[in-house]
Amino acid sequence: MPRPSFALITLVAALSTAAAPPMRRASGVHLTDQSGRFCVDLPTGWLGNGNAIQLWGCSPDDNANQLWALAKNGHITSAKEPSKCLDAGENAVSGSSVHLWDCYEGLAQQTWIVENGAVRLQGANLCLDITDGKVQDGTRLQVWECDGEWNQKWTVASQ
């Protein structure tokens, strides 16, 4: 039985240990609280429908769980997966949880206006709000009647 040549073995070994191509990093913006220390965050990075959005200390390494894209159609999408939007739920009212959901064009609960430091649902007087004003890791985000208070003030920060 013929034996493989040294050159063939070397080639196979080189190919099997070749470096993988670098991972593509998500690009986007951070949505930070007024202090700039806490970011709108996708818990555990799970992209499933219904994952509740939270506040978490901003990661210095541009963690993709904290990167968002502001689309011209009013969607705020995950930079990890542009088909997933911030969603306030059907028939949102003050106290409705903000979560991740598949994006649908023209859906009121996914159409946001970002201006003057507020992130407001289009056609409603409901703003992205830090629940109970608790600025700490894990605080769930909600919508609440826009009142201009500090817990509804956000900064769009480039990564």
The residue among 12 and 103 whose pLDDT is bigger is 103
* Residue 69 placed within a domain: yes
| Domain ranges, residue 133 | 27-158
* Residue 139 placed within a domain: yes
The residue to which tokens 């963690």 are assigned: 63
Specify the pLDDT at position 2. 54
Q: What is the CATH number of the domain that holds 113?
A: 2.80.10.50
3-state secondary structure of 101: strand
Tell me the per-residue pLDDT of 141-155, one tens digit each, with 9 for 90 and over: 999 999 999 999 999
* Residue 9 placed within a domain: no
Separation between Cα atoms, residue 55 and residue 76, nearest integer Å: 16
Cβ count within 10 A of residue 49: 10
The residue to which tokens 């978490």 are assigned: 56
* Residue 18 placed within a domain: no
Tell me the per-residue pLDDT of 72-93, one tens digit each, with 9 for 90 and over: 999 999 999 999 999 999 999 9
Tell me the per-residue pLDDT of 25-64, one tens digit each, with 9 for 90 and over: 557 999 999 999 999 999 999 999 999 999 999 998 778 9
- Quick one: which of 92, 62, 93 has its CA closest to 80? 62
Cα within 13 Å of Cα(99), Cβ side: 15
Q: Say how many domains are in the chain.
A: 1
The mean pLDDT value for 13-18 works out to 40
The residue among 144 and 5 whose pLDDT is bigger is 144
pLDDT of 5 strictly over 80: no
Q: Is residue 88 within 8 Å of 112, Cβ to Cβ?
A: no
**pLDDT above 90 covers what percent of the chain?**
79
Say if residue 159 is exposed, middle or buried (CB neighbours under 10 Å; 0-12, 13-18, 19+): middle
pTM for the model stands at 0.82
